[in-house]
Amino acid sequence: MNSVVRNSEEELALVERLKQHDEKAFAILYDAYAPILYGLIVRIVRNYADAENLLQDSFVKSWLHIDQFTPEKGCFSTWLINIARNTAIDFTRSKYYLTRDANQNLEKIVFNELGPKTTGIVIETIGLSGHLEKLSPQARQIIEWMYFEGFTQQEISETHGIPLGTVKSRTRLALKELREIFS
């Protein structure tokens, strides 16, 4: 399973094996998706150790809740990405993270200077690069900040000095553009 394809037969067979609690299938799942999910989590939490822990948490959640995945509702890779993304965002909103973040430790300063070890999520592997290229530059940036980096509209406004109303308008336009692309 070198590339992730929208609910391919191979992917659906893997899901069925996971639903049977096949540990070998879980190893295959981990090998196939860990790099993508780790890249996404690192971009959100900006800490390698936390990202590794959250990656494990994400895979445990997917293992425990595999019965909740239904191919009719969407792509398996998107389901996994949402689990990882939500796990990372929940972590960034935790009291532990906010307190630690306020202290601005050395690791965070070094991270900001050197950047992440990964180049981020490889959006081509989940089939999004072609769609994101079709978006206007402003719409693409908003989607990247919100979805791939986990920013709220308020955080985008504060971090990038864009009025909140403008962020909200750009978000609506970005979603409208995405709906047109997927129609």
Phi, psi values for residue 98, rounded to 5°: -65, -40
pLDDT the model gives residue 101? 60
Residue bearing the bigger pLDDT, 127 or 113: 127
d(CA 29, CA 122): 17
* Per-residue confidence band for 119, with pLDDT thresholds at 50, 70 and 90: very low
The yes-or-no verdict on residue 78 having pLDDT over 50 is yes
The yes-or-no verdict on residue 47 having pLDDT over 90 is no
* Over residues 65-82, mean pLDDT: 90
Class of domain 128-183 (CATH, top level): mainly alpha
Query: Whole-prediction pTM value?
Result: 0.61
CA distances from 89 to 11, 15, 24, 34, 41 (A): 26, 25, 29, 18, 9
Handedness of CA 160, 99, 35, 70 (dihedral sign): negative
* Per-residue confidence band for 68, with pLDDT thresholds at 50, 70 and 90: very high
d(CA 64, CA 49): 23
- pLDDT tens digits, 134-168: 888 888 888 888 877 778 888 888 888 889 888 88
Query: Which residue intervals of the chain are DSSP H helices?
Result: 9-19, 23-45, 48-64, 76-92, 95-102, 106-114, 129-133, 137-143, 153-160, 164-182
Average pLDDT score over the chain: 80
Class of domain 1-123 (CATH, top level): mainly alpha
- pLDDT tens digits, 79-115: 999 999 999 999 988 888 877 766 555 555 555 544 5
With a CB cutoff of 8 Å and minimum separation 6, the contacts of 51 are 38, 41, 42, 45, 88
| CATH 1.10.1740.10 placement within the chain | 1-123
The yes-or-no verdict on residue 5 having pLDDT over 70 is no
With a CB cutoff of 8 Å and minimum separation 6, the contacts of 136 are 173, 177
| CATH 1.10.10.10 placement within the chain | 128-183
